[in-house]
Structure 1
Amino acid sequence: MKKQGILNRELAGIFARIGHTDQIMIADCGLPIPDGVTCIDLAYKIGEPGFMAILEVVLADYKTEKAIIATEMASQNAPLYKAVHDIVDTAFEEVSHEQLKALSAKAKVIIRTGEATPYANILLQSGVIF
């Protein structure tokens, strides 16, 4: 049995198969999931698990070279915008929410949280560990 890292067997398996420049998305409970994209739904009630809790766990287990968020997050969810910038130590790109939803169609997986605040979505592009 694993002692640390991502314990969810589906996520651990997907993370093991991800290569450089592949993308994953952490999403709030309202983001539409594109057809054909794997969704690991962790939500068990409104607000739980929260976006930041999942982002922290993912960042501890996943090498990121770029993060993409919606430009709307800065004005519509300023506390989350600050928290994301405080914890993610990589290059940031901001696109419209509509563009971010379109980009989600190429994600290897969307991790759905119970988060119920506006624009709580982030696309993470995989880096390399060497």
Structure 2
Amino acid sequence: MLKGIPKIISPELMKVLLEMGHGDEIVLADGNFPAASCASRLIRCDGHGIIELLDAILKFFPLDTYSENPVSLMQVVEGDPATPTIWKDYRSAIKKYDQDFTSFEMVERFAFYERSKKAFAIVATGESALYANILLKKGVVVE
């Protein structure tokens, strides 16, 4: 164990976050996401929600300031009546660590799947909220 690392971040997840370089992407996937079939690197984080995981990750993870949209969400499928309230929580968590954050990139469902296949890693969570998948693009550490 080490000091200061939230217990929700497993050694495997911390290793992946450290190995990622500028521009690499990581997906935090909800419980309905086909994580195992999309991932080149799959990290299990069952039993945890994305909000607590996102908050823990953003303590260490710089978002890409060179990208217009360093955070992407899976947009609601046309005709689906779902209204993802979790997105407000995402915005609050992100603004806590990146006050310059302005907006999410909305990605069509199947395009999100394809982009996830190219991500550095996918973290499979137990998140039950619908349309809770979030993709983070890593930035540069300037400290």
TM-score tier (shorter) = 0.7 to 0.9
5+ residue gaps, structure 1, are none
Runs of 4+ residues deviating >6 angstroms = none
Question: Among 119, 134, 140, which residue is 1:122 paired with?
Answer: 134
Percentage of matched positions with identical amino acids: 27
1:25 aligned residue = 27
2:114 aligned residue = 102
1:35: how far off? 5.0
Count of residue pairs brought into register by the alignment? 125
5+ residue gaps, structure 2, are 65-69, 96-100
1:27: how far off? 0.6
- Helix, strand or coil at the partner of 1:118: coil
1:71 aligned residue = 75
Q: Superposition pairs for residues 8-87 of structure 1, below 5 Å?
A: 8-33=10-35, 34=37, 37-43=40-46, 48-65=47-64, 66-72=70-76, 76-87=82-93
- Contact 1:5–1:61 (CA under 8 A) maintained in structure 2: no
2:98 aligned residue = none
Give me the TM-score of the superposition, normalised by structure 1: 0.85
> What do you get for the CA RMSD once the two structures are aligned?
1.9
- Contact 1:41–1:112 (CA under 8 A) maintained in structure 2: yes
- Please give the per-residue CA displacement for 1:54-106, whole angstroms capped at 9, x wherever unaligned: 11111112111200102219x62432121112222335211112211111001
Give me the TM-score of the superposition, normalised by structure 2: 0.78
1:121: how far off? 0.5
2:67 aligned residue = none
Partners of 1:49 and 1:41 in 2: how far apart?
Answer: 10
Partners of 2:42 and 2:82 in 1: how far apart?
Answer: 25
- Contact 1:49–1:114 (CA under 8 A) maintained in structure 2: yes
Partners of 1:38 and 1:83 in 2: how far apart?
Answer: 26
